[in-house]
Structure formats: structure tokens, C-alpha cells
Structure 1
Amino acid sequence: MTPDLSRLLRPKSIALFGGGWAVNVVAQLKKSGFAGEIWPVNPKRADILGVPCLASIDDLPGVPDASFIGVNRDATIEVVDRLSAMGAGGATCFASGFLESESEATGGADLQARLIRAAGAMPILGPNCYGLINYLDNVTLWPDQHGGLPVETGVAIVAQSSNIAINMTMQARGLPIAYVIAAGNQAQVGASDIASALLDDDRVSAIGLYLEGFGDIRALEVFAAKARARGKPVVAIKIGRSDKARAATMTHTASLAGNAAAGSALLKRLGIIEVDTIAVFLETLKLLHTLGPLPGAAVCSVSCSGGEASLMADVSGGTALDFVEFATPQRAALKTELGPLVTIANPLDYHTFIWGDVPRMTRMFSTVMAETFDLTVFVLDMPRADRCDPSGYQCAVDAIIAAKALTGARVAVLASLPENMSDHFTRQFMDGGVAVLHGMSEGIAAIAAAIEAGRMHAVAPEPLLLSQEGPSNTSILSEAASKAALSAFGLKIPRAASALSIDDLMQQAVALEYPLALKGTGLAHKSDAGLVALDLSDASSLMAAAERMQGVAKGYLVEEMIVGGLAEVLVGITRDPTGTFLLTLGSGGVLTELLADTASLLLPATRSDIETALNSLRIGRLLEGYRGKPAADIHALSDAVLAICAYAAANADRLSELEVNPLIARAGDAVAVDALIRLNDAEHNKETHP
């Protein structure tokens, strides 16, 4: 159940424990104009910045809604225990040295467990975190400087790094921030719990997540479903893609970073928009706050420069932005307004002929906005006020805002360089309902993200397949055993026979039809060891192939060759450290490493998900039929993938990974010609790596 954070997030009274850090919190509360009660507890001081101090927690005049605990880690546990016993609304635990330091053998894990027990039902943020800022109600339970201002509505940001949270408050991009909350170690209250609570505030327009690990996957699912139901978009940065980043994450917040592909697949499945940089994160949140998710990809770029128009087209290449042509009435009206020298195209360079004529500029801009487009973007870089006079550009500002008011269209202004749009002009545009995007590449990425947000499904996906089993000793099933296990779930495999000797092999092969494939068993990577022979057309070629493998192979697997293949597909399922199962579809056979052509889904996956992923691959053209060849049976191919997924679901408690490569797609079916399954503590049919 999601904890009740209402008193902690919107307190009427705040207690503070500690020395210097508590002083900083009092300073921020006074600076922000917090209207509630402030109760510093410090036996060594008479007051903090004029606020009288209390000698002990027993002297509190009431039960605090929120507390900042800035004492050492052992004392933190004592204070939390006392606050919980009196029914306090919640606390933020500043001290470090808990689970995030466990690798240094400091006893942090035990201390964190004690902290959780002490808190009981009282919600706590952290430990190892700064706390929270509520710019809606002037609550700054925060022991450091920050750059935000009071707002009436805005976005909420939950970050697993306090320093990143501070940096985000310093933005000068016009983003109205309603809340900033540092999650720290998430010992008791996770980032998903915090984000779920923030959805309950009607003044919050969108949620931003800075994630170093996913924590409780079920809680994340609950949050995503709630966000979807409330119609509030969610944007996330998930770090930990590189080995070094994952190592840093483990020592920083004790979070489990997980696999980058699995993380991206998880966010996409839950309808959370993933971005890569803080700049794009902030720009996307700003666009979603101002305009919401875009209903489509039709975008018009308007500028007073051919260079800007061309650059917009180039930078947008490969994104979701679609610069559709003007409607015929628009084209005619624009031609009349702009004259014969202006080419009417999208992106549009309207030249300087009407510059300075606000009524005419307003008419032209209104014509552009009137129909056709899901978003109209004006490229506009303002002169710097310290060295230049930007007043000559006020005409464009006034005309854009006026045209927006006349049409009610979705409108954004984009400065090609972030520094070329001052806070003064940003506020003018934002007050007029015009989104302001700082930086061309960042702005285009934000527009693409808003398009993606508009395409998110309204229906919640099935709950994820999860396994709580951690790392353990694993064993690999032999190829024959792997295929047999998958065949029991409906996967089609070739007719085959196993043998330990050449004589036995030749006897077993009599029941099979040539051409045959021969594989030597005993090694995981058979091709590299010369233990695969294909297209064996008769008994003599089979005998010769077996003799070449003798001395290396521990046994033999002989199969009927699968002919008529149209494409080779890789199907892999791996258990991610987060407990989710990642389904990887890609180009198979010899093309696997060469093309690195893959698509990723999380289990369970639907037939529609699988077919969409298959069609997104480069080999999708082969599956559709290429250069006169027939199309593969996509339904049968999907059936094969679903059969593999069914095996994974049935064995989720033991499955570590499996791979079918290649799965040969044909005109009438799909056949698995190689397979490998790794299970935790498998007790039978073991074939381990040398």
C-alpha cells in the first residue's frame, strides 16, 4: 500500500534535529516564507536564526507533520523511533553511512534495517538524502541552496541523487517546478511511492523521475497505472548504462541498476517517456506542462531564415517529427501575405518582408497555426541584452502570442542556442501559453518525446513477469534437452537423434532423411570448435564429418536439415537483475553479431507486441518477402516466440537465460535449429562451460 505522505509533503509544523545542517534548513524555510511552525531541537543553542530552540524532543509543543533529521546515523535511528512513537507525519533522514556504504564493511545494512524498524508506519525519506522542496506551499525542508521560485502549478521531480536535484532547481529555462524530492536510499519509501503521492496534487501537471535503480517493480507499475489514469505524463532519465556507471550506482544509493535494454523496455511498457540528458529531461517536462502530450507528429517550423529552416529539417532527421505540407488554402493565403519571392514550404522561411509589422505578422502566423499541424514551432533567437538591444524583436514576441490567442493552437518558440532566450522573454511567452524550448537539439528531442507521450496506450499492460530468485549456481541444459523442453510448449524442432559413438550415430541416422546437420556435443560454442557440419547429403559425408569431430566432441546430435528458410531469427530471454525477464528478438544465425539488429520487450509479451518488434528489425523486409521470395508466415513465427515465452513463464523461478538461434522462418512455419537454456541449480541434463 502506498504510504500517506500528505503531512510530510505539505506540513503545517516542522521539527529540526542537528547542528549546521539544521541551521541551513531554518534559513531556507525563512527565506521561502514558510507559514507554519518551526521547532528546532538543539540543547546547545538558545535559538537558530532567531527561532527559539528546544532542549529535547520531549519539549516539542506538538506532534510535527515533518521533521529534518541532521544528526549522525546512530542518533538518527533514536530520533526516528521517538517521532514514530508520537505519531509524527514523516521525516527526512540526512545522514549517510547506511546501506549505500555496505561495500566498505561499515555495518550500514544492519543500521538501515534498524532504521526501518524504528520508523514503523511513519514515512521516512532517505537516509542519505537532502529532503524535499514544495514550491507550491513554500515548504523548503532542504539543507542547501536551491534555485526555484514559488509557483501555482508545475511539474514534480523525484531524484535518487540529491546533487542532481539541486542542479535541476538551478535551471534558467522557465520550467515551473512544483516539487523537488530527493529519494536517497529509499530504505522505506521508494521513488515510485513518492511519485504516486505527488499525483494526488491537482497542481502537479507532470512527473519527472531521475532513476539510478528501479527498486520495487510492482510499486512502479502501480504508479504508472495511476499516472495513466490521472492523465499526467511521466518523463524519466535512467542512468547506469555503462559498467562504470552501474558500479557507481551500487556505491551511491544501493540501487540495482539493471540492464539498459531491460530498463528502456520497462519504461516504454509502463508508458514512461525515457530521455538521455538532463537538458532534454527539463525541456520535455516544460513542453508537457505547457501543452501536454501531442496528439500527432505533424509539426510546422517557422523562421525568418533559410539557414534555420534547413537546420531544423536536418536536426529533425530520424526523429518522429513530420514536416507535412501546408493545406491548399493555407498555401494560397500565405502566398498572398508573403508575396511571390517567398517559397511556401515546411519548414518555412518567411523572410524579412513583414518583419516589424505586428498586425501582418499576426495574420501570417495565425494562418500557419489555423489548421493542419499538431504543433507550430517558431525558431527565434533573441539578442543578448547586455551587449545588444533586443527591443527590435518584440514584434515577433507580440505577434506569436497574439496569433496563439486567436487560434488556440499548440505553439512553441525554439531558440537554437539555449542562452539565446532570456528569462524575460521566456516568461512573456510562457504567460501567453507558448512553450519555450532552449536549444535546437534539446527542443527537437523534447518535441519527439511529447509525440511519443501522445502515442502511449491508454490501457494498462499486464503485470510483469517477475522472479525474486537472486544469482546462484547455474547449469546449462544440452542442446537436445533444451529443444525438448521448448518443444513441450509447442516450439517446432527438427527430427533428431543423439549418439555417443560414431557407430551409434550411423545407426540412429538411418531413421532420418538427408540432408542432415551434425553437431558435436560437450562445448557451448560448437561452431568455434569446428563441431558443426551442415548439408550432409549421404552416409559417407556424415561418417567423414563425425570422424573430423572425434576427440573433441563428447557425443553427437544429428538432425534433419531445415530447408526453405526465408530469414533466421534470434530469440533470447534473460532474467534481468531487477527480476524482470527481457525478451530479445533480432537477426539470427551468422548475422547476430554482425548486424546487432535487435528489439527488446518485457514478459509477458502479446502477439501484437512481438509482431511489431519483428517488423521493426532490418530482417523485417525478408519476413515480408524480398526480391520475389515468398513472405514468411509471421503468425507461425509469432507462435514460436510465444511458445518460448510460455516456457519462460512456467519456469520463471529457475530460468536464468535461454536462447534460440536461429529460429528459421519459412513460408508455412518456424523451426528452432539451435537452443540453449541456463537454469539456476539445474539437476539434470547438465552441460557446463569448460
Structure 2
Amino acid sequence: MPDLIRLLSPRSVAVVGATDREGTYAHTTLLNLARAGFDGRVIGVHPTRPSAAGVPCVPTLAAAGRVDAVVIATPADTVADYVAEAAGMGCGGAIVYAAGFAEAGRPDLQEALTVAAGDMPVIGPNGNGLVSVPARAPLWGDAVTLPERAGGVALISDSGNIGVVGMAHRLGEGLHTVVSAGNAAVIDTPTLLGEVALLDGVRAVALYVEGDGDGAAWCEALARCAERDVRVVVLKAGRSARGAAVGAAHTAALVGDQAVFAAMIAEAGGVMVSQPLELLETARALALVRRDPRGAAFLTCSGGDAAIAADLADDLGVLLADLATTTEERLRELLPPAATVANPLDHTALVWADTEAIAALAEAVGRDPAVGHLVYVQDEPPGLPPGPLEEWRATRAGGVLGGERAGMDTLVVATTPGQAAPGAVAGLDNALRALRVLQSPAVDPERLRAIAAAVASDHRPRALDEATAKSLMAAYGVSVPEGRIASAVDDAVSAARDLGYPVVLKVVAVDVIHKSDIGGVVVGIESDEDMTRAAGRILGLAPGARVLVEAQAAPGLEMIVAARRDGVVPTLTVGLGGVWTEAFADVACVPLPASPARVRSALEGLRAWALLAGARGGAAYDVEGLCRAAGRIGDLLLAEGLTLVEVNPLIVNESGCVAVDAVVTE
């Protein structure tokens, strides 16, 4: 990956196109730098102006010297020349505001920019720039005021406006770095992610993404995040057909299979969200709290908030701590008689504004060995007069102080966005999404690099007939029915006798993928007479057709296992198969390679898991065999350079599993 440190943390800036004309990106950038207190060198570039916005100007970029960041605020057709000049001078990088490139039907201008950049990083075009709070460097086209202190959240956005929203939301509180990627002509979003993860102080990254990008690059960037335990939250456009079309028009991004992208992010321990508020607040929560597998404990002054927190925790899969008997006894000593000891804990209004009383409660809960995260829930109504405001703050301070005494950070959460106090997370759901991640083990970066290697492996699209496909699967240890190929009716009858009735008959022709759609599958053939009729009909379905005669598989639960390469990373899809595949859509998607243990973890999240495990006294199916077979199907795809291996159904019963029907594209 290129080194973006100079550009992301600049100490010298040149603004090309500097002007005093208010409302322009160049003028606004200069004002932003002054307002933020940027103490590095700032120089304007303009052929005739001696100064702009109080900043001295030079007539050429060459006269500005070798700077860390070149902000180019000139029309699209001038950009490539300035980029080439900056690269030749050894500048740290460039920011391009202008639109009018690939997104506007001018891929030639975008290609010229890319070529001109060479090895120099460029952010944009068609973006708002970048903001570094630690460097006090808002290289940003819209007016912005920086928070006083840098937080732990970096925001990377394919949309300029999402970046603007992020900077405006709560006045940028909690932000560390903001980058508007725009068209990402030179530096794409995965590269930005990998570089931002290296910045000191970044603990979480919020991503707004419109295109899939390069899966290998994504996985390498996510591996960098995993190495530093930088948490990732993603808002992905294009979940609907209309959203995909808008995103493509916006930044000329290519949008692929959303389930595959989501599976990649989940494999990296990331969180997928659907709204900007969720993106920003979930990232805020992730940046504030340490990773700990133990349960969460909630304190509040509201029975309603306590009940809602318990329900949401259950909905989102967050573990709540079971408090020890000694902790419960201590809480009974501290709580008013009207209070009930529970988790979540409503300490009641009887200790309202009593900082020490609430701190003692929070400390007692925080010291419980089963508690890994302490959460204090409180909404602070806006516009409170000074007296009540101090009471609200004193109450909340007790929760924070008690956590400090217990040796942990208290996560303060408001249930509604408009009533979050400074430093608090807005939205219980956002906090709980973060806690679910933080209760999980850290992700192994080598797992992500293995996925990246799988993306880069060779593949060649070509369909194989079912008999050849099954022969290949058998070589990888996947059980298939015993079968014979026949080109004539008599041969089919002979094969059926050898195998023993009942048998299944299928058409074999390279151009026929969906055999059932043309009547090319007959099951339950019991006699020579039935075989003669069926084979005669099927052999006439396609020129040069043959038939596959197979022993009929024992009954069981029908599953689908499909390994494929049609998304941002290769994936394995497992779930209910046969006629239930589309009816229930009960499937899980796992990036490849996938071990049997990883397949089992995916299966455990399905509704079908109860069936596989033997619900209501039923016999348990051979889950271990299913997981091994699924993993081997994934291995087959990667090792043989295939595009698709789909088994539907793979029948699993108490004694094993067998791949009954298969489609393989080489």
C-alpha cells in the first residue's frame, strides 16, 4: 500500500486556485485552516494574486515548493497537469475537489489523472477532501469547525455529503480523521482504510461505501485493522436495485452481491448498518470501549430503559452478565428498599443526583467477575435550566466514577439521538451493536489474508457436465451416488441392473444446466420397463445427450452447498436446499477458504440448525460430515480454479451425506 502519512497528517499545504471569492472550495479551505488553528505552512497558488483569504500566494506550484498536501481547486480539465507537477516535485499527495470525471461520462479525464499521479496518492476527484483533527488540518471544501480534541473514530466516505454529515453531527465530537474518497481514481477506499488504521489514536473506522472494489485489497486492509484491533462499521449503498443504480451514477462504482460483501465484513469482525446515524454512533461506541468476552451490565434510573435494554440485548445477541450472589447482596445494601436487584439495574430516582451513591452501585457491579462492560443509560433533555442540568450531570457522573473505581470505562448511552450528553452514545441499538463485536474474540488477520489469496487465485469459466463434476468432487472427498453414463437405452437398462433399483436418471449435456426445467430428471425408477421409457425420452432432449444412471440416495434433510466467485470475495453458501432454497432463503454466506469449524458456526446461525441438531426428539443428522463436505467443496473451487460448484441438494441423514445434484462451472 502507498504511504499516505504525509497527506493524512500534513505540516505544509498548498492550495491551487486560491481566491478571495466567497463560497468557493479554495477560499473555504483557506478559511477552514485559519479557523482550525493549523500551525503549519500554508501557501496559495494563483498566477496573479499576491494573497487570498489572508494567505500569501505564489504564481506556480513549483514556487510553492515540496509540500505535504496539494489541494487542487481548479476545473477538471486542468487537474491532471497539476497532479503531474506535484508528483514530480515529490509532494506528499493531492486532494482533488472537482467533479466532471468518470461519474460525468469523462473516463478519459480520470485516466489522465491516474496516470499523472504515478506513485503519489491522490484523494478524489469529486470529493470534499480530508480532515485531520490531530493535525488541525481541515482540507475540506465546505465550511467546518473542528472539535477541540481528537476522538478515536475515522470516517471514510465515498460520498462527500456523508462526510459533511459526519463533520456536522454533534460538531464532529469523537472524530479523528475524515476522508471523502469521491471517485477514488488513485487511492481507493480499501487502501484508505488500511492507511487510516495505522494512525495513532484511531480505534474505529466508519465507512460509507458505494462500490465493491477489489476483494483482495479489502481483506488486506481489514487484516491491518485486525492487527491493531481497529474496529470497522460499514454503511453499504446498493442493497436495492435502485440504490445500486444511484451509487453507480454517483461515483461510477460497480456494485456487486451485497450478501457477499456483508459476509466479508462479518468475517473481519465488522458491523453492517443501514443509516448514517447508526454508522457514526456505532463507531463512536466501538472507539470508546475495550474488548472483553464477559457480559455487559446496565445501570439506569428508568425501569422502562432497563426493560428495553434487556430486550434489545437479546435481539442483538449481546451477553448480559449474571451477577454473583455477593454482588447482589452488596447491591441490596446500597439500593433503596423500593429497588430490585437485576441486570439491567434500575437504581430508581431515590438516589437521583447523588453521585456517590450511584458511584457505589456502579463500582459494585463493575467489580463483579462476570462483568466485562459497564453501561449507564441516561437521556439528557435539551434546554434544561442550570439547576436540573446539574442534577442530570451529577447522576450520570456517578455511573462514570463508579466504573473508574472498578477499573473499567463506563459507556454512557442515550436512548434517543437528540438527548445524548457530550461523550455519550446516541441509541441503545448502536451501543449494543458495538458491544456484540467487543464481546467477540479479536479476528485473526491471517484468516483475512487467506481470503485475499483466494480472491487472487486463478479461475477459468467453463461448464462441466454433472458426471464429470461429481467425479471431481469425489476426488476431493465429497460423497456422491454411485453412477454410470449411458449413451443408449440398452446401456441405461444394464447400468440400472448393475446398480440395483430404484435408480435416478438424468440428462447429461454440457448446455443443459437446469435439468428439471426440461424434464431431464426422473427419480424412483423401479423396473427395466420404466427405465426403457424414461431413457428413450431423455436421450432425445438435446443433440448428443447422454444419461446418468445413479443409485437413488437414502432420504434425509436436503441442503444446498454452493462455492462461487461472483462477488467481492469467493464464498461458500450453506443452508436449506431442494425445494426449500427459495421458499425459506435460510442460508449463510462464508468467505473462502472455510474450515469445517467455520461452516458449523455458520450453520448454527440458521433456522435449520434446530432440524440438523435433532429438534423435538428427532434424530440428529451428520452435521460433522456435512461441515467436512461443505469445506471440501470450497477447497475444490479454489484449488481447481473453478467459478462455481453448486450442490443442491446435498442430502444429509443420520449416517452421512451425499451430493445428489451438482453444477460446476470451470
TM-score (structure 2 length as normaliser):
0.90
* 1:251 alignment partner, SS class: helix
Matches within 5 A, 1:125-140: 125-140=123-138
Q: Which amino acid aligns with 2:35?
A: K
* Cα separation, partners in 2 of 1:537 and 1:97, compared to 1, 3 Å: same
* Cα separation, partners in 2 of 1:225 and 1:469, compared to 1, 3 Å: closer
C-alpha contact (below 8 Å) 1:520/1:557 kept by paired residues: yes
Partner of 1:5: 4
* 2:553 paired with 1:537: no
* 2:426 paired with 1:438: yes
Deviation at 1:587, TM superposition (A): 0.9
Partner of 1:72: 75
* Cα separation, partners in 2 of 1:526 and 1:220, compared to 1, 3 Å: closer
Cα distance in structure 2, aligned partners of 1:529 and 1:350: 68
* Cα separation, partners in 2 of 1:649 and 1:457, compared to 1, 3 Å: closer
Cα distance in structure 1, aligned partners of 2:557 and 2:129: 54
Partner of 1:583: 572
* Cα separation, partners in 2 of 1:360 and 1:31, compared to 1, 3 Å: closer
Deviation at 1:168, TM superposition (A): 0.6
Q: Which amino acid aligns with 1:370?
A: R
Decide which of 286, 294, 299 is 1:288's aligned counterpart: 286
Cα distance in structure 2, aligned partners of 1:132 and 1:113: 22
* 1:412 alignment partner, SS class: strand
Deviation at 1:672, TM superposition (A): 0.9
Matches within 5 A, 1:84-99: 84-99=87-102
Decide which of 335, 339, 346 is 1:349's aligned counterpart: 346
Partner of 2:46: 42
* 2:182 paired with 1:187: no
* 2:58 alignment partner, SS class: coil
* Cα separation, partners in 2 of 1:394 and 1:601, compared to 1, 3 Å: closer
Deviation at 1:95, TM superposition (A): 2.0
* 2:639 paired with 1:650: yes
List per-residue Cα deviations over 1:489-546 (Å, max 9, x = no partner). Answer: 3322112233345444323322221111223456433334444332223223434545
Matches within 5 A, 1:276-675: 276-293=274-291, 295-371=292-368, 372-385=370-383, 389-421=388-420, 425-426=421-422, 430=423, 436-452=424-440, 454-457=441-444, 460-464=447-451, 465-467=454-456, 476-521=463-508, 523-546=512-535, 552=541, 555-563=546-554, 565-578=555-568, 580-626=569-615, 630-652=619-641, 655-675=642-662
Cα distance in structure 1, aligned partners of 2:52 and 2:234: 38
* 2:49 alignment partner, SS class: coil
Q: Which amino acid aligns with 1:606?
A: S
C-alpha contact (below 8 Å) 2:83/2:117 kept by paired residues: yes
* 2:450 alignment partner, SS class: coil
RMSD between superposed Cα atoms in Å: 2.7
Cα distance in structure 2, aligned partners of 1:541 and 1:644: 34
* 2:203 alignment partner, SS class: strand
Deviation at 1:180, TM superposition (A): 0.6
List per-residue Cα deviations over 1:118-167 (Å, max 9, x = no partner). Answer: 22222211222221111111111111123532424532222222211111
C-alpha contact (below 8 Å) 2:559/2:652 kept by paired residues: yes
C-alpha contact (below 8 Å) 2:73/2:98 kept by paired residues: yes
Q: Which amino acid aligns with 2:98?
A: A
* 2:350 alignment partner, SS class: coil
Cα distance in structure 2, aligned partners of 1:50 and 1:358: 50
C-alpha contact (below 8 Å) 2:212/2:255 kept by paired residues: yes
Cα distance in structure 2, aligned partners of 1:420 and 1:521: 66
TM-score (structure 1 length as normaliser):
0.87
Partner of 1:54: 58
- Could you tell which deviates more after superposition, 475-484 or 179-188? 475-484
- Could you tell which deviates more after superposition, 333-342 or 509-518? 333-342
* 1:241 alignment partner, SS class: coil
* Cα separation, partners in 2 of 1:305 and 1:173, compared to 1, 3 Å: farther
Cα distance in structure 2, aligned partners of 1:616 and 1:116: 44
List per-residue Cα deviations over 1:204-243 (Å, max 9, x = no partner). Answer: 3333322223433333333323222223323332332222
* 1:286 alignment partner, SS class: helix
Decide which of 21, 32, 35 is 2:36's aligned counterpart: 32
Cα distance in structure 1, aligned partners of 2:662 and 2:602: 21
Decide which of 141, 144, 148 is 2:142's aligned counterpart: 144
Q: Point out where structure 1 has 5 or more consecutive residues left out of the alignment.
A: 431-435, 680-690
Q: Point out where structure 2 has 5 or more consecutive residues left out of the alignment.
A: none
C-alpha contact (below 8 Å) 2:376/2:396 kept by paired residues: no
* Cα separation, partners in 2 of 1:631 and 1:28, compared to 1, 3 Å: same
Cα distance in structure 2, aligned partners of 1:439 and 1:174: 17
C-alpha contact (below 8 Å) 1:196/1:223 kept by paired residues: yes
* 2:315 alignment partner, SS class: coil
* Cα separation, partners in 2 of 1:309 and 1:543, compared to 1, 3 Å: same
Partner of 1:683: none
List per-residue Cα deviations over 1:354-385 (Å, max 9, x = no partner). Answer: 33444333323322222132222222122332
C-alpha contact (below 8 Å) 1:566/1:623 kept by paired residues: no
* 2:169 paired with 1:171: yes
* 2:80 alignment partner, SS class: helix
Q: Which amino acid aligns with 1:451?
A: Q
Cα distance in structure 1, aligned partners of 2:57 and 2:449: 53
* 2:433 alignment partner, SS class: helix
- Could you tell which deviates more after superposition, 309-318 or 76-85? 309-318
Cα distance in structure 1, aligned partners of 2:559 and 2:132: 51
C-alpha contact (below 8 Å) 2:36/2:145 kept by paired residues: no
Cα distance in structure 1, aligned partners of 2:363 and 2:590: 43
Q: Which amino acid aligns with 1:446?
A: A
Partner of 1:686: none
C-alpha contact (below 8 Å) 1:567/1:619 kept by paired residues: no
Cα distance in structure 2, aligned partners of 1:247 and 1:164: 18
Deviation at 1:10, TM superposition (A): 2.4
Deviation at 1:598, TM superposition (A): 0.7
* Cα separation, partners in 2 of 1:347 and 1:642, compared to 1, 3 Å: closer
* Cα separation, partners in 2 of 1:457 and 1:173, compared to 1, 3 Å: farther
* Cα separation, partners in 2 of 1:598 and 1:76, compared to 1, 3 Å: same
Q: Which amino acid aligns with 2:3?
A: D
Cα distance in structure 1, aligned partners of 2:268 and 2:427: 29
Seq. identity, %: 31
C-alpha contact (below 8 Å) 2:207/2:234 kept by paired residues: yes
* 2:225 alignment partner, SS class: helix
For these two proteins, the number of residue pairs brought into alignment is 653
* Cα separation, partners in 2 of 1:291 and 1:355, compared to 1, 3 Å: same
* Cα separation, partners in 2 of 1:358 and 1:63, compared to 1, 3 Å: closer
Q: Which amino acid aligns with 1:369?
A: G
Cα distance in structure 2, aligned partners of 1:118 and 1:455: 40
Deviation at 1:192, TM superposition (A): 2.9
